[in-house]
Structure 1
Amino acid sequence: NPAKEMIATAHAHGVPVLIDGAQSVPHMKVDVQDLDADFFAFSGHKIYGPTGVGVLYGKEEWLDKLPRY
């Protein structure tokens, strides 16, 4: 899986990265800090959670830049 290399390439060009982890989370351990993705998202039902819930991980530096509501 070339995700780490793709993320490094994007970061080298100043591009933030969001990974859709819906297919990986139920099948493997995911270390978002090791991946170095800026955002990582997946739906809860993929890991047998209730319908309608999900996860959005974001690095603090990016979350601080988002407008509050």
Structure 2
Amino acid sequence: MVRVTIEEIQRDPLEYLRRVEEGETLVIVRSQEAIAQISTHSPSSASPTPSDPFLEGFYDGSPELGSGSDCQLFP
């Protein structure tokens, strides 16, 4: 895990993205306080969930809207 500032990333963003691609985790700091973390994305462990509680009953976790007659935008 590497601590970096926004200014350091702005100087060479591609270098930091390369490091993340190689498996390194970046912790972005401001005034010595950690404010964000950047790490590689793992599609198998990523589980998209609705951010709005109202939508929870409508989202089944699949990446697609549906097919056939069960998915009509306009009747």
TM-score normalised over the length of structure 2: 0.33
TM-score normalised over the length of structure 1: 0.35
Higher relative contact order (CA 8 A, sep 6+): 1
